[in-house]
Amino acid sequence: MNLKKNWRVVVTGVAEKNLKHVPKNDFIRIEKSIDQMIIDPFAGDIDKLSDKGNAWRRRIGNYRIIFEILIKKKTIYIYEIKRRTSKSY
């Protein structure tokens, strides 16, 4: 199967810092999810966050990737990766 990598993903410093605290198994799942976003940012368990402008959330187990999609630039900005808690939303 030939999959094109159409999208550019930018992970901000805050999101990189968040990843440093993620257990290895979850880190691997999050990394695979980000790789999938390069191909299609709209696939997977995503939802538009109505209270945060152009923000989206992608669910990976107990973790959430918070990102923006710039369609004209074909760029995804991941600006937060956090563990889901009862106070997350």
> Read out DSSP for 2-48?
------EEEE-HHHHHHHTTS-HHHHHHHHHHHHHHHH-TTSSSEEE
CA distance 10 to 48: 19
pLDDT band at 3 (very low <50, low <70, confident <90, very high): low
pLDDT band at 23 (very low <50, low <70, confident <90, very high): very high
pLDDT band at 4 (very low <50, low <70, confident <90, very high): low
CA R_g for the chain = 13
35-88 pLDDT tens trace:
999 999 999 999 999 877 789 999 999 999 999 999 899 999 999 999 987 665
| Residue 68 dihedral angles phi and psi, to the nearest 5° | -120, 145
Which class is domain 8-83? alpha beta
Is the pLDDT confidence value at 5 over 80?
no
Q: What is the pTM of this model?
A: 0.84
Which residues face 77 on adjacent strands? Answer: 10, 68
